[in-house]
Amino acid sequence: MPPCPSALRLARRGTVTGLAAAGLLLLTGCFAEGSGTSSAEGADGATDARIQAAMMQPPRSGLSPFSDDAFKLSRWSTGETLIRLDEAGDAQPMLATEWEQVDETTWSFTIRDGVTFHDGTALTAENAAASLARAVAAEPAPRILDGVEMDVAAEGDTVRVTTAEVDPLVPQRLSSPQLSILAPAAYEEAAVSPVGHGTGPFELTSLDGTSGATLERYEDYWGGAAAVAGIDVSFVPDGTARAAALRTGEADVVESVPVGQAAQVDEELLTEVPMPRTNTLYLNTEDGPFTDPALRAAAREALDPQSLVDGVYEGRADTAAGLLGPAIPYAAEGRDTAAYRQLLADRAAAGDPAGEKIIIGTFTDRAELPEVAVQLQQQLEATGFEVELDVREYQYIEADALEGDFDAFILSRATVLDSGDPVAYMVSDFGCAGSFNLSRFCSETVDAALAAAEQAPPGEERRQAIMAAEAAILAEDAAIPMLHERVIQGEQDGVEGAARDPRERELITAETTVAE
């Protein structure tokens, strides 16, 4: 591949460091020359401008909709689902215009008229049902369907979804990008191909391996043509290179500028988006010193999360008041109740560590966590614990963490999974049978609260049950939430309408524009 003229020109002028220029050249390939510079306006406000997007991770599964790559399809507005979620996590129409619960386990979704796939095929209930059925049958199953038995069939202009068990979150599940509806031709080969087969305002026209992707405006989009002519995507795993691409104008929109690079970029180009992700210290309640509630309380009182926010995260995070942070709109209000406060008031009093030795594990894959571990070590030792750290790559430490080999484990954990609902995370991490129960925690009180939350219908009743479950978990100090992370999104001056989505489902939309 020939070198990027623009990146070489910047390097010669000295406007980027050699490292940044190398990152731009070797990791990203070339950002398209001249893109995003034209502002000639066409019909309905559309222009021939293009948006340059620098994405953090390359595809891992060839943009298979059944994998995490599906979130790229939704962030580029090429793949769409029957349902979308609003800010509160409530289901809203997308490719389905309305729905009803027929009985306890059956739901009916009415398919939107006038929608065509990018290959010109009309969207029907039959091909929508067939697309969902392929996801249901996929191996491995899309994460949103893990443990869910579901049958899908077309019935007139509706798609009927039947589950083996009562599931009040069926509409929310169908909002997951992993259940994007693609044209029948997408499934003709063994590997599902989203290229040219979505329904969104942008058509994915090419994927260049792990280097980049190209999307063009789909003129027949059911919601009206997009404002820009297309999107040119570069995959830039190196955070220094992403920051350099923003700083030098090589990219219009940049995913996840690292905290350590933010100071090198004009602050006006950065937007901090609260994430549904909590940095948490999980305490082993089954074996070792933290089987004692008094020592769990001692650890809680020893920690100073604000120092982590100010030091490690350079102020670009929020101290945790609970498991759920500011990305969950109802969390703060849910804590402002007498019942919630009473549960926390009844927590065990702190005991004396008296030199108890504890081993804390964490991983290097998230750059901040090793530094968090060092600060926690200092804070806990100041209280009387003797602390040993074990820091490795995540792939080499996860099994040991799940086996309970550590007294405590530091984890940056997503608290809202694909359904847009935190109950699954709580059950996984704090239920007696939880599949990701690093605390080895089991409480009849907490299990009852989690069951109530699982069974509650979406809306205010479910939100209240979720907050009651959070209080029950925190009351037993199985885990100590420390801070809620933010993602730093970069946008060039002149970019308007890029989505700032805590769930990372949206980024470039039909309304996103870029000035000359």
Comparing 122-126, 153-157, 311-315, the range with the smallest average pLDDT is: 311-315
Look-up: residue for tokens 């990152």? 23
- Residue 1: pLDDT above 60? no
Q: Which burial class, exposed, middle or buried, applies to 114 when counting CB atoms under 10 A from its CB (0-12, 13-18, 19+)?
A: exposed
| Residues β-bridged to residue 90 | none
Q: Report pLDDT digits (tens) over 266-300.
A: 999 999 999 999 999 999 999 999 999 999 999 99
CA dist., res. 351 & res. 300, Å (int): 11
pLDDT band at residue 45, thresholds of 50, 70 and 90? low
pLDDT band at residue 46, thresholds of 50, 70 and 90? confident
CA dist., res. 212 & res. 250, Å (int): 14
pLDDT in the model for residue 417? 67
The CATH 3.40.190.10 portion of the chain extends over 83-187
- Residue 42: pLDDT above 90? no
Asked if 492 and 53 count as a contact pair (C-beta separation under 8 A), the reply is: no
CATH of 83-187, one of 3.40.50.300, 3.40.50.2000, 3.40.190.10, 3.30.230.70: 3.40.190.10
At 6 the three-state DSSP class reads: helix
Q: What is the 3-class SS of 135-155, one letter each residue?
A: HHHCCCCCHHHCCCCEEEEEE
Highest CATH level, class, for 5-76+203-252+492-514:
alpha beta
pLDDT in the model for residue 389? 98
- Residue 29: pLDDT above 70? no
Q: Is the peptide bond before 140 cis (omega within 30 degrees of 0)?
A: yes
- Residue 171: pLDDT above 80? yes
Q: Report pLDDT digits (tens) over 432-457.
A: 999 899 999 999 999 999 999 999 99
**Cα 254 to Cα 2, 5, 57, 224, distances in angstroms:** 23, 20, 12, 25
Q: What is the DSSP string of 258-326?
A: -HHHHTTS-GGGEEEEEEEEEEEEEE-SSSSGGGSHHHHHHHHHH--HHHHHHHTSTT-EEE-SSSS-T
Asked if 255 and 362 count as a contact pair (C-beta separation under 8 A), the reply is: no
Q: Tell me the percentage of the chain whose pLDDT exceeds 90.
A: 79
pLDDT in the model for residue 33? 39
CA dist., res. 363 & res. 353, Å (int): 25
pLDDT in the model for residue 305? 97
**Checking DSSP bridges between strand 150-155 and strand 158-163, what pairing results, if any?**
antiparallel
Helix (H) or strand (E) holding 131: helix 125-137
Q: What radius of gyration do the chain's Cα atoms show?
A: 24
Which letter, b or e, does each residue of 70-95 get, where b requires 16 or more Cβ atoms within 10 Å of its Cβ?
A: bbbbbbbbbbbbbbbbeeebbbeebb
Q: Give the CA angle between residues 87, 319, 395 to the nearest 5°.
A: 85
Question: Contacts for 203-208 with beta carbons within 8 Å, 24 or more apart?
Answer: 203/78, 203/118, 204/63, 204/73, 204/76, 204/78, 204/118, 207/59, 207/62, 207/63, 208/29
CA dist., res. 137 & res. 233, Å (int): 31
- Residue 37: pLDDT above 70? no
- Residue 13: pLDDT above 60? no
Asked if 246 and 489 count as a contact pair (C-beta separation under 8 A), the reply is: no
What residues have CB less than 8 Å from 402, skipping those under 6 apart? Answer: 436, 438
CA dihedral (317, 318, 323, 326) positive or negative: negative
pLDDT in the model for residue 337? 92
Q: What is the DSSP string of 412-470?
A: EEESS-TTS-SHHHHHHHHSTT-TT-TT----HHHHHHHHHHHHSPTTHHHHHHHHHHH
Asked if 94 and 221 count as a contact pair (C-beta separation under 8 A), the reply is: no
Q: Give the CA angle between residues 147, 151, 154 to the nearest 5°.
A: 150
| Residues β-bridged to residue 83 | 93
CA dist., res. 411 & res. 409, Å (int): 6
Q: Report pLDDT digits (tens) over 50-105.
A: 999 999 989 988 999 998 899 999 999 999 999 999 988 889 999 999 999 999 99
pLDDT band at residue 196, thresholds of 50, 70 and 90? very high
Mean pLDDT, residues 352-363 taken together = 97
The CATH H-level superfamily of 274-486 is Dipeptide-binding Protein; Domain 3 (3.10.105.10)
Most distant CA pair in the chain, distance: 74
Q: Report pLDDT digits (tens) over 222-238.
A: 999 999 999 999 999 99
Q: Tell me the percentage of the chain whose pLDDT exceeds 70.
A: 91
Q: Which has the closest alpha carbon to 191: 58, 59, 64?
A: 64
pLDDT in the model for residue 89? 85
CA dist., res. 181 & res. 174, Å (int): 10
Q: Report pLDDT digits (tens) over 376-393.
A: 999 999 999 999 999 999
Q: Report pLDDT digits (tens) over 102-139.
A: 999 999 999 999 999 999 999 999 999 999 999 999 98
